[in-house]
Structure 1
Amino acid sequence: MKRILLITTLILLFFSISTFSGCVSEDQQEPGVYDNESETTFYAGQELTPIAEQRNNAIQGTQYIDRESYRLQVDGLVENPMEFSYEEIKALPRTSKVVDLDCVEGWGFTGKWTGVKIADLFEEVGVMENVSTVIFYSADGYSTALELDYLLENDIILAYGLNDVTLPPERGFPLQLVAESKYGYKWAKWIVRIELSDSEYRGYWEERGYNNRADVGGPAFER
């Protein structure tokens, strides 16, 4: 019996020392902390949905993209096709806004999105006069498109931050399109290429019958 009590005491002592000395796995993080960045859950009088509670859809699962080798290609009907590194994108003027993501399936969440206005990105490449459509391509083979006028008139942004932390991989790192007032299937994640075009384009879900306008509150499917 004494031997059992001694072993039990030693085990408890070991866990106490490990806990108070900070000897825990470096991979463990507190809820709401991402790579040592603390998440904001309240901003400008609005409650934000914690990232851990945000639902997520993807056709090929989460994509993991290397920050150093990442390049965003912007081409098509532009005067100066370019590739932007992650740091070059972050060096452009920064903006934040609180926007709801509404999924066509009926769920949604509220986030504070931080990134670059698409208008500022387009100033770098020069948009030709006949452009009407902007196509977004993702690392997993996903694609979708939106009208150029919609993107410019609504100051739509490409986000690299969410709730004041760097966009986590499951949410679309390095860039997610914040297509406010549009259903979630227009919110492309893991964007690697943007093409400017003069023709209508139907993306992954649009080819499968989803409405190409995707206005929140409007019909989900083409009639």
Structure 2
Amino acid sequence: MQKLSRAFTVLALSLFFVLVFVVAGFGEQNLSTDEVEIREYQGEKLGSVSDFRENSIRGVQKVDPATYRLVVDGLVAKPLSFSLEELRSFPRKKKLVTLFCVEGWQVKALWEGIPLSALFEKVGVLPEANTVIFYAVDGYTTSLPLDYILERDIIIADKINGITLPPAQGFPFQLVAESKWGYKWIRWLERIELSDNANYRGYWESKGYSNSGDLNRPMFEQ
């Protein structure tokens, strides 16, 4: 009888800890269990989130959606920070774009998120700004010309192939830097700075990678 009681106790504790981990995981990543990744869009086959290779500088970051803030500051009339709830009210856009990594792999995906122009409209970009510097939770940085961002209507994505961006792909936001090498596609975005420093060098750019990041140019500075 004591053995049976002990077995039930162990089983109950095991179920309790499984439930705790499951609930904690959902709260941390803010992912929905009923989301299904699409593999085709407008007649084109898509890659999968499982096709991406992990190559971040400090491993996959886990961002708490309850405390997350996206800061937009620098050369702006009104610096602001936004919660995820506030960001849900912004206009949204979908883009079919392929990410090309300097390691030799690529993934075509359907990205959905917020046009940076909508954020810029809120803060009021000052005339002297010519560069946008992006900062990630893990300390990674990169930059892009302001003109390129506006002309291409570049977005920060919180969805990929119809599902919430997983932590490995940069939850809550990844920059969709179309026509640029993958090191410009910053993940776990937490700050966007408007700047007049056109020569700013980000993490990999400061180590010799091309500052433009253009796919049709050498990936290293000449």
Matches within 5 A, 1:1-223: 35-200=33-198, 201-223=200-222
Deviation at 1:38, TM superposition (A): 0.6
1: CA distance between counterparts of 2:52 and 2:205?
Answer: 23
Aligned to 2:10: none
Deviation at 1:217, TM superposition (A): 2.8
Aligned to 2:9: none
Where structure 1 has 5 or more consecutive residues not aligned to the other structure, the ranges are: 1-24, 28-32
* 1:36 maps to amino acid: D
2: CA distance between counterparts of 1:186 and 1:52?
Answer: 20
2: CA distance between counterparts of 1:40 and 1:56?
Answer: 21
Deviation at 1:35, TM superposition (A): 2.9
> Whose helix proportion is higher, 1 or 2?
2
**Number of equivalenced pairs:** 194
CA contact (8 A) 1:65 1:173 kept: yes
* 1:169 maps to amino acid: P
2: CA distance between counterparts of 1:36 and 1:63?
Answer: 23
Runs of 4+ with >3 A deviation: none
Paired residue secondary structure (1:199)? coil
RMSD: 1.4
* 1:148 maps to amino acid: L
* 1:38 maps to amino acid: V
Deviation at 1:34, TM superposition (A): 6.1
1: CA distance between counterparts of 2:34 and 2:217?
Answer: 40
2: CA distance between counterparts of 1:130 and 1:209?
Answer: 27
1: CA distance between counterparts of 2:193 and 2:181?
Answer: 21
Q: Deviations over 1:119-164 (max 9, x none)?
A: 0110000000010000000000000000000000001000000000
Aligned to 1:18: none
Paired residue secondary structure (2:59)? coil
* 2:147 maps to amino acid: D
TM-score, normalised to structure 2, is 0.84
**Identity %, equivalent residues:** 52
Paired residue secondary structure (2:56)? coil
Where structure 2 has 5 or more consecutive residues not aligned to the other structure, the ranges are: 1-17, 23-30
Paired residue secondary structure (1:110)? strand
1: CA distance between counterparts of 2:33 and 2:78?
Answer: 36
Deviation at 1:90, TM superposition (A): 1.9
CA contact (8 A) 1:76 1:197 kept: yes
Q: Deviations over 1:175-214 (max 9, x none)?
A: 0000000000000000110100001210000000000001
Q: Which has the larger radius of gyration?
A: 1
Q: 1:216 to 1:34 in 2, by over 3 A?
A: farther
CA contact (8 A) 1:142 1:203 kept: yes
Paired residue secondary structure (1:161)? strand
Deviation at 1:55, TM superposition (A): 2.1
Paired residue secondary structure (1:101)? strand
* 1:218 maps to amino acid: R
Paired residue secondary structure (1:173)? coil
1: CA distance between counterparts of 2:184 and 2:191?
Answer: 15
TM-score, normalised to structure 1, is 0.84
Deviation at 1:50, TM superposition (A): 1.2
